[in-house]
Structure formats: structure tokens, C-alpha cells
Amino acid sequence: MQQALRHQHTAFVNFFAGRARYPRFKSRHGRQDPGHLERKAKNLARYQRRMARKQRGSSNRAKARAKVARAHTKVRDARADFLHRTSTRLVRDHELIVIEDLNVRGMVRDRRQAWAIPDAGWGEFRRQLEYKTQRYGRRLVVIDRWYPSSKTCSACGHLLATLSLSTRHWTCPGCGTRHDRDVNAAKNILVAGRAVSACGADVSRPQGSALRRSAVKQEAQPVRAGIPVLQGRK
């Protein structure tokens, strides 16, 4: 709400200064997309570069530091707003939500992903889903991080021996189905989550042979190497 008031104030200042037209209300059905966050992040980076060029202790550096602080606030607020909107929409529209227990700390160690992962706010997104599903009587199923969702064919269940992170598309040698890596993983994760929700017991091959291994992370137990048996909640 505070950020909305800031936007309103800026809009009217620009209008009375002759720099913009009269402010208009945005549609309540409009959705903020990740590109909005990207633009604010680029602005933040630009202000940081400008501040680095200012002389330490100077008034210009103090002004630049204030701009950087405001840009940080805008990025933080925009990210929080996007995550809340998205998580609320998912919880409102779906009885069952299935996610993967990603090893965010380990993935951040990868230099290629070190910036993108924290910026996406995966950990905060999961936290919001957890408390919102409990609050509104929905169910959240968390799939074990060791479950090979990316390299298991969602059509026939064939399991690849290896699949590098750089491979974004692959063709199943068993049935010839062409897969987008992320879409295929999402299909497998959803099937596993539905099996857990429906059965609530040990399931080794839900829906035929498409899922040959278990998938659910037991929150009360530490994550173990390998793929544990699929178990429902008691």
C-alpha cells in the first residue's frame, strides 16, 4: 500500500509539472510480470554504477546513495508484490499445488545462477505457498529433490542415465517423444503429487509406469541421498 501511494504521488507530481498526462487507475485484472522486476533491477544497477563514480564523502555521492536506497526499496517491493499476487492466485484457483524441494543454497553456489535464483525469490515463494495453503484449506505437496523429474519421460516412463543442465530439450529413446526439459519435469511432478494426494500410501508406479520412483519429501525427516519411498501424510 505504501508503494502504491508513492506511485500515486509521483504520478501527480509529474502531471502538475507538465511531464505526464493525468494519472489513470490500472485495471484490477492487470498482472505484474517478471519483466517489471527486471526493469527495476536494471535501474538499480545503473544507480549503483553512478554512485561508484562519485567521490567519497561528496554531496553528489550522498545523493547517489539515496537514489540507490530508493531503487533497492522499489525492487524489494515489486518482488514481494509479484510473489504475493502469484501465490494468492495459485492458492485461490487450485485445491492441490505440487512443488519440488529445490536445493536453493546449493544452486546459488553456481556462478551462472547466483544472481537469478535469489532474484526470483524461490524460498520466499515456497514460504508463502505453505502458509496460504494452510490458511485456506488447500494442500501443498512437496516433491523430493532427488526425484529425477527432468530426465524421466512423462509419456512412457523411460529414465535417462544422465541429463546435463545445459540440455533444455531431449527426445525419449523409448517412445520418441520430444520434451522441453522444464515442461516434462512439471508434468512428472504434478502426476506424483496427485498420486500422493489420492492414495496417501506407498506408491511406486502411479499412473502406469510413468513414475517409477517415489517423489514426496517428508518434512519431518532430513533429505536423504537416493529416492525414498512415496508416502502419504498421517
Task: Say if CB 152 and CB 219 are below 8 A apart.
Answer: no
Q: Helices 59-93 and 34-52 sit at what angle, rounded to 10 degrees? A: 170
Report residue 45: phi and psi, to 5°.
Answer: -60, -40
Contact between 216 and 144 under an 8 Å Cβ cutoff? The reply is yes
Q: What pLDDT score does 29 carry?
A: 54
* pLDDT band at residue 10 under the 50/70/90 scheme: confident
Euclidean distance between CA atoms 197 and 133, whole angstroms = 14
* Highest-pLDDT range among 28-32, 41-45, 85-89: 85-89
Residues in the chain: 234
Where does the pLDDT of residue 36 fall: very low under 50, low under 70, confident under 90, or very high at 90 and above?
A: low
Q: Is 76 part of a structural domain of the chain?
A: yes
| Assigned domain for 50 exists | yes
| Cβ proximity of 132 and 89 under 8 Å | no
The pLDDT of residue 33 is above 80:
no
d(CA 92, CA 42): 32
Instruction: Provide the CA 222 distance to its chain's centre, in angstroms.
Output: 23
Number of domains, the chain: 1
- Report yes or no on 123 lying in a domain: no
Handedness of CA 81, 142, 190, 159 (dihedral sign): positive
Residue 70 belongs to some domain of the structure: yes
Rg from Cα positions in the chain: 23
What residues make up the domain containing 89? 1-15+39-93
Q: Are 36 and 79 in contact, with CB atoms under 8 Å apart? A: no
Going by pLDDT thresholds of 50, 70 and 90, the confidence category of residue 66 is very high
Domain contains 44? yes
Mean pLDDT of the chain: 78
Residue 205: inside a domain, yes or no?
A: no
pLDDT at 230 over 80: no
CA-CA-CA-CA torsion sign (189, 191, 196, 201):
negative
Whether residue 105 contacts residue 122, with contact meaning beta carbons closer than 8 Å, is answered with: no
